């Protein structure tokens, strides 16, 4: 299943009140990321705030990686119409991500597959590259996804299984 070009790329695809910290539109503390198509990939923008800090004035590295992982996942969803679980990633922080300045995250699929899919991510701020990464996702069948989650998939997720 592929998604139509006008399908919104946000957590609402997975049903109301889904719990994702990265993309849920209702998560009380989440990032609430929304994506747009960008050529063969996706792009999102956010302005980190003081609540995203690690060191003063700098976005926590784990949250930077969260933005990257979420963006990589949405590149996969946009390209394939399938959901993947992150299995591995290799990243490099090139420079600090500052709070109060717009962060632009882009990702695209670099190696499609029927079970494993690889993506690449780039984050920039003020026109300078601050993060690069490669992420690998496993596309799971319904039973494998339910085993991983420890229970049934929400109904809205079923169409995204391999």
Mean pLDDT by 10 residues, the chain (162 residues): 79 86 92 94 97 97 97 96 96 98 98 97 98 97 93 91 91
Cβ contact 18:24 at 8 Å: yes
Give strand ranges (E) for the chain: 9-10, 34-38, 41-46, 84-93, 103-111, 116-125, 128-139
Of 45, 106, 37, residue with least CA distance to 78: 37
Cβ contact 155:15 at 8 Å: yes
The pLDDT value given to residue 1: 54
The pLDDT value given to residue 2: 66
Residue 18, judged by CB atoms within 10 A of its CB (0-12, 13-18, 19+), counts as: middle
> What's the CATH number of domain 9-160, 3.10.129.10, 3.90.550.10, 3.30.750.24, 3.40.470.10?
3.10.129.10
Q: For the chain, what are the domain ranges?
A: 9-160
pTM of the model: 0.94
The pLDDT value given to residue 18: 85
Give strand ranges (E) for 12-112: 34-38, 41-46, 84-93, 103-111
Phi-psi region of 100 (alpha: psi -120 to 50; beta: other; left: phi over 0): left
The pLDDT value given to residue 6: 81
């Amino acid at each position: 299943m592929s998604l139509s070009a006008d399908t919104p790329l946000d957590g609402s695809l997975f049903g109301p009140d889904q719990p994702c910290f990265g993309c849920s539109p209702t998560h009380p503390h989440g990032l609430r990321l929304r994506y747009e198509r960008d050529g063969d990939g996706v792009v999102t923008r956010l302005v980190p705030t003081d609540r995203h800090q690690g060191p003063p004035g700098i976005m926590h590295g784990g949250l930077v990686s969260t933005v990257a992982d979420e963006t990589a996942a949405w590149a996969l969803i946009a390209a394939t119409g399938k959901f993947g679980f992150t299995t591995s990633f290799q990243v490099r922080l090139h420079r600090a991500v500052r709070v109060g300045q717009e962060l632009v995250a882009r990702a695209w699929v670099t190696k499609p597959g029927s079970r494993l899919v690889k993506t690449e991510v780039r984050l920039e701020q003020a026109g300078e590259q601050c993060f690069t990464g490669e992420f690998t996702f496993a596309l799971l069948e319904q039973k494998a996804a339910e085993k991983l989650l420890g229970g049934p998939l929400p109904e809205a997720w079923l169409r995204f299984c391999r």
